[in-house]
Structure 1
């Protein structure tokens, strides 16, 4: 496959990003991949390469590009429980600044970029997110039903909140098929029920699947939360969703 480190023009500047493409000369469906709170780093680049190996053109943006190129916050090679709280403390102000308005401005830029690439097939794209990226993926899919046919979120965060613009309150126009792979403790029973009701009301195919025995962050191999069997399940679910919803070029 072919990979690039590139910049995506946005209304607020230029977002550095990692992209991976199948290297067969064909056109393939696009996938926008939103990182977790620890942002763009080698483990996310590896996920993009994996997806490209299955025939997708993948874009992974630096969520916090307004504060500089990735890594915006210095990260240890392995984010163990002994440093996790301290790292989250440094990332949290960036997360709080990442408003719904910013998210959607950026989403339009990322989707437009994918649509402009000659490697990307005409037709809808998939959007995937991890941790806070799952909320970004859901917001993107709900705001751009004309462009997004699949949305997946793993160990999601901030999908159901008390805010008036909580993602679960904005799904009326959603048309994408949805898979959410949830760690134990990610969603309370009440929050899961509320989210399920919102997805039912939108009339979309969806499942909210508990990944037993996992903790938040289970897909991320550079953290103590990593669970190899849950990562394999994640790939099984994600690849099935994309194959079902996206048209090959």
Structure 2
């Protein structure tokens, strides 16, 4: 596996990122990795390394590239530190749906143009806010996303939210896998049912379930990380991508 720093030309400038490529002879299917609200950092680079070891070319972009050289967050304390929480939420809210969709087009173009990548569609996976993004991208670029996963994602089927990903279900062609966290107000049973109905009505092949773990379960540097749930999430990604992505 090799990890390379890359620069992705975007409509609004350029985004740094890392490209994670399997060992051996390619090409391989591509996967676009969306981090949680804390953004791209070593934990997610290691997760992208693991995707490469599984046989996928993984792209991890700096979703907050418009912030310049921003200071990384300490996920163990960010939500208990008022100033850091405010800084984090300001960056999250500044990355609007419009910007997310625009950036995604550039990320997808970059990834699919790589010689190491095969096929004309990729997989996406996202965590926390990145889960919202993963489904949003699947609904916005249906011809270029063949598999979309969300782990402890929030706001996936929020009522009265015009940016809620469930509203994009009629456009989705991807196979969708959503694993929510138990007792998570950001994605509760009401949202689960609403998303289930939207995906079913749209004829989207999907799996929806709750893992018996807290929000943040899949990300090792989160204080709520759950090793069993993380392992289960890797198994789910292997099955999803192994079925839905071109070899």
Shorter chain as denominator, the TM-score bin is over 0.9
Task: Tell me, yes or no, if structure 1 residue 247 matches structure 2 residue 246.
Answer: yes
Deviates more, 1:238-247 or 1:166-175: 166-175
Distance 1:159 1:85, change over 3 A: farther
The answer (yes or no) to whether the contact 1:34–1:136 under 8 Å persists in 2 is yes
- Unaligned residue ranges in structure 1 (runs of 5+): none
Alpha-carbon RMSD = 1.2
CA distance, structure 1, for counterparts of residue 78 and residue 112 of structure 2: 39
Which residue is equivalent to 2:235? 236
Which residue is equivalent to 1:208? 208
Find 1:84's aligned residue among 79, 82, 92: 79
The answer (yes or no) to whether the contact 1:30–1:125 under 8 Å persists in 2 is yes
CA distance, structure 2, for counterparts of residue 124 and residue 74 of structure 1: 31
1:19-98 matches, within 5 Å, as 19-69=19-69, 72-76=70-74, 79-80=75-76, 82-86=77-81, 87-98=84-95
Find 1:100's aligned residue among 91, 94, 97: 97
CA distance, structure 1, for counterparts of residue 232 and residue 85 of structure 2: 27
- Unaligned residue ranges in structure 2 (runs of 5+): none
CA distance, structure 2, for counterparts of residue 74 and residue 123 of structure 1: 33
Q: With structure 2 as the length reference, what TM-score do the two structures score?
A: 0.94
Offset, 1:85: 3.3
CA distance, structure 1, for counterparts of residue 78 and residue 102 of structure 2: 32
CA distance, structure 1, for counterparts of residue 96 and residue 80 of structure 2: 22
Provide Cα deviations, 1:11-32, integer angstroms capped at 9, x if missing partner: 0010111110012131000000
- Secondary structure of the 2:231 match is helix
The answer (yes or no) to whether the contact 1:29–1:123 under 8 Å persists in 2 is no
- Secondary structure of the 1:121 match is coil
- Secondary structure of the 1:118 match is coil
Number of equivalenced pairs: 242
Which residue is equivalent to 2:115? 118
The answer (yes or no) to whether the contact 1:73–1:90 under 8 Å persists in 2 is no
Which residue is equivalent to 1:154? 151
Provide Cα deviations, 1:226-249, integer angstroms capped at 9, x if missing partner: 10000000001111000000111x
Offset, 1:83: 4.1
Distance 1:166 1:200, change over 3 A: same
Q: With structure 1 as the length reference, what TM-score do the two structures score?
A: 0.94
